Every structure is written in structure tokens, then in C-alpha cells.
Structure 1
Amino acid sequence: MAAGSAGAGDGRVVVGVSGSLASLAALRAAAHTARESGRTLVAVLAWEPPEGEVLHARNPDSAWAAACESEARARLDRAFDQAFGGTPSGVTVRRRLIRDRPDRALCALAPDPADLLVLGARAATRIGMRRAAVRRRVLGHARCPVLTVPAPVFPRRERRALRHAVAGDFVASA
């Protein structure tokens, strides 16, 4: 192994989670990479109040912020349930909720060149445009390698059905 390259157990695998199909694909890829390399998987869901930090600072409401944080925690837990049916086995997992912009949160959690940042990538849509901006900012500021994982492509009819599917729908029946 060359000097300065990441070996087994060096660094962490940091993955951005939003709950989208692209982020679920990134979460699965990150878990696989962490398991294979012996690294810790750090799953990050960055959140901000819906009205934004500036408006929230003008009229702070701790109950509203707590409700937003609780919803973010539920989204992170749901992502693990949808991707794995719970916490994946064979890998050390750290779940992190961070009140910040996603790009800043991800880059701050992966400052070491031995870390690996994993992001989901999907086709450009109105929602996908914001995530593409996050991806561009991460790629511009990351101090470690960044792996982008494409979202699975499904026909429209199947996408609609998959939105309502749960992990149990994919368990093989005996």
C-alpha cells in the first residue's frame, strides 16, 4: 500500500442521507464499502428549520425547532429501515443529525483525506436541482475522495408503487 492511501480501518465512510431513492442507494453502497474496508459508517442527515436559519433567528421557537429535529431523526431512521430493514450487520454505524446545510455538514464530518464521502446522484428535476447544488459544493470543498452513487432508474409506474413499499415487501416468502 502506498504511503498516504487509505487502508483497512483508516478513516470513515460518511454518507449523506435524505430519504430519496438516490440517498438510499448511497447508504447501501456506503455500508458495503464500510463493511469491506473495516471502517465506521457515519450516516448524516443535515437539517434546517423550514423557514431557514435567518427567519428562525428573528423569531426563535424552540418547540418548532425540536419538532423539526424529531422529524429529521424519524427520516434518518426510516432511511435505515427502507435500505436494510434496520441497522446493517457487520459494520459499525453512527447516525448523526446536524443542524446545518448538507454540504457544510458533510465536509465538516469528513476532514481527513482517508475518509470517504458518499452521495446519491439522481437525474435533474426540480427537487434534484437542489441536491445537485449540494453535490457540486461538496465536490468543490471536500478534503477526501467523494463517491457519487446514481439513483436506480425505474419506469414511472414502478416508481409510484415503490414509494409506498416497505422492507417487508421484499422479503422472500418460504
Structure 2
Amino acid sequence: MRVVVGVSGTPHGATALHRAADEARVRGADLWAVLAWKLPGHDPDRRETWRSTAVARLREILDEAFGPAGPGVPLAGLTALGSPGPVLVDVAQAPDDILVVGTGTHRGLRRMLAPSTARYCLTRAACPVLVVPPSPLEAALEAVRRRNARGLPLDARELGAVRP
């Protein structure tokens, strides 16, 4: 049994990664962390350089998430060339796999331009999919960013009301 999780290096990706590690511990499963990457531009000669960069980034993400002790379950890291949704669905093909994806805080124009990886996986995966929402703290930080972008005043007491 495997718990396959998409990683991205974002805060909501870290939330999903930790939830996937919890699921793997509970189920006695292996944890597979998958980082999808794309070639920037049209330079196939640099493909190996970009693949090496993706591998290094995945190691960095896993080190930041779990430290030297690791997640407490067998861990495999995989980088794959492609869009996150198709890559994750391709990796998590066994019926006893569990696919874990995080949801971002896409709003407005960004939601229309950037397709949802979670939605893609939910509609196409051959195994159960666990969609992990952003942590309450992340949602509060996003609200602060929006207020700052609009030049609205911020009341620091509002930040104390957030409970992770």
C-alpha cells in the first residue's frame, strides 16, 4: 500500500505532505512524495539540468518538512516531467493507493488561468483521493496579503483570533 502525495514547496503543499505522512503512519503504508516539473521554454538540451534541479528541490522540500528524522514511514521521492495532475494520476494507479493533494488559495482570474490539480485528480484517479484544504493560518495570511494589496488597514488583534 502507498500514500502518494503531490509536493510543490508551497505552504498548502506542506500541509498536504504532513497529512499524507500521517495517513501512511496510520495505514502502515509507504509514503511517495511526487514533484512534477516542466521544461521552461523549448530547450530540450537543458532537460538534464532541469531534472537535476527538480531532484534537488524535492530533497529540499522533504528536508524542510521532516528534518533529518524523516516522516517515520518508508519514504520514496519521485520527480516527473509533466503537469501535476496527470503525473499524480499516473503514479497512483493501484486500487489500494491513496492519493493526497492539497488545495491552493486560487481566486478570481488565477483560478480561471491555473487548472486545479485537486479537481483533475478527483475526476481521473483510479484510487481514493484525499484533498487537504489549506490550514487556517494559511487562510488568515492570505487574507492579510489581500488587505495589504488593497491598502486596507490591518488590525493586529484579528491575527490573534486565528487558531491553527
Q: TM-score range by the shorter chain?
A: 0.7 to 0.9
| Unmatched 5+ stretches in structure 1 | 1-10, 160-174
Q: Superposed, which structure 2 residues align to 1:112-123 within 5 Å?
A: 112-123=94-105
3-state secondary structure, aligned to 2:116 = helix
Deviation at 1:133, TM superposition (A): 2.1
Deviation at 1:121, TM superposition (A): 0.8
1:125-153 deviations in Å (ceiling 9; x for gaps): 46666665222211111011111112222
Give yes or no for contact 1:117–1:145 (8 Å, CA) kept in 2. yes
Select 2:141's aligned residue among 135, 151, 155.
155
3-state secondary structure, aligned to 1:50 = coil
Instruction: Please report the RMSD computed on the Cα atoms of aligned residues, expressed in angstroms.
Output: 2.3
3-state secondary structure, aligned to 1:103 = helix
Cα distance in 2, alignment partners of residues 131 and 86 from structure 1: 34
Q: Following TM superposition, where does structure 1 have runs of at least 4 consecutive aligned residues deviating by more than 3 angstroms?
A: 125-132, 156-159
Deviation at 1:36, TM superposition (A): 1.4
Q: Superposed, which structure 2 residues align to 1:31-46 within 5 Å?
A: 31-46=21-36
Q: Superposed, which structure 2 residues align to 1:1-174 within 5 Å?
A: 11-51=1-41, 55-56=42-43, 60-61=44-45, 64-86=46-68, 88-125=70-107, 132-152=115-135, 153=138, 154-155=140-141
Cα distance in 1, alignment partners of residues 129 and 84 from structure 2: 14
1:71-111 deviations in Å (ceiling 9; x for gaps): 21122112112211246242000100111221111111111
Identity %: 38
1:35-72 deviations in Å (ceiling 9; x for gaps): 11110101000111012xxx34xxx31xx212211221
Change (3 A) 1:143 1:87: farther
Give yes or no for contact 1:18–1:75 (8 Å, CA) kept in 2. no
How many residues are treated as equivalent by the alignment? 141
3-state secondary structure, aligned to 2:130 = strand
- Could you tell me which amino acid in structure 2 is paired with residue 30 of structure 1? A
3-state secondary structure, aligned to 2:56 = helix
**Normalization by structure 1: what TM-score?**
0.71
1:7-56 deviations in Å (ceiling 9; x for gaps): xxxx21000001011111111110111011110101000111012xxx34
**Normalization by structure 2: what TM-score?**
0.75
Cα distance in 2, alignment partners of residues 73 and 22 from structure 1: 20
Cα distance in 2, alignment partners of residues 145 and 128 from structure 1: 24
